[in-house]
Amino acid sequence: MNLNVRIEDPVELNVLGEPLQPCSHDPLTGYFRNGHCSAGPAGGAVHLICIAATAEFLAFSASVGNDLSTPRPEFNFPGLVAGNRWCLVAARWAQAHNAGKAPRVYLRSTNKRVLDMIPFEFLKACALDLN
């Protein structure tokens, strides 16, 4: 995984059909560590859903083998705490959703490509940024 690749000005869209908004710069998130849940030029990155981490979700994620709380400097990963925004792998979000532990999401920062894997209605039900 090349973590030095940067996509500075994403032309990707969010699930609302608008330009993809940043998810987080602190901690710096996204597969490309550019602050966006970008799929990238080839569309291969799957860290597509901008979540609000909660203690409950982080505990669930660790319990199924995806420890998101422990820092991993070798992967430029600071470790998450409740309240952090983070680009989550779509399959991980679906796994948490199926277990009733899905974190809330920011639709304006969630990549439209996720709709190939997760129905919009599921995401909308967990949205934090709808009026």
Domain ranges of the chain: 14-130
Residue 43 has what pLDDT?
85
Which of 53, 28, 56, 80 has its CA nearest to residue 38? 28
Percentage of the chain modeled with pLDDT above 70: 92
Over the chain, what is the mean pLDDT? Answer: 91
70: its two tokens: 């422990």
Residue 5 pLDDT > 90, yes or no? Answer: no
What span, in angstroms and rounded, lies between the C-alpha atoms of 9 and 11? 6
Mean pLDDT across the stretch 13-25? 97
Residue 35 has what pLDDT?
96
Mean pLDDT across the stretch 9-26? 90
Percentage of the chain modeled with pLDDT above 90: 82
Residue 90 pLDDT > 90, yes or no? Answer: yes
Confidence of residue 7 (pLDDT cuts 50, 70, 90): very low
39-48, 55-64, 82-91, 99-108: segment of lowest average pLDDT = 39-48
* Sign of the alpha-carbon dihedral angle for 127, 25, 7, 96: negative
The fold of 14-130 is Phenylalanyl-tRNA Synthetase; Chain B, domain 1 (3.30.56)
Confidence of residue 130 (pLDDT cuts 50, 70, 90): confident
What span, in angstroms and rounded, lies between the C-alpha atoms of 14 and 77? 24
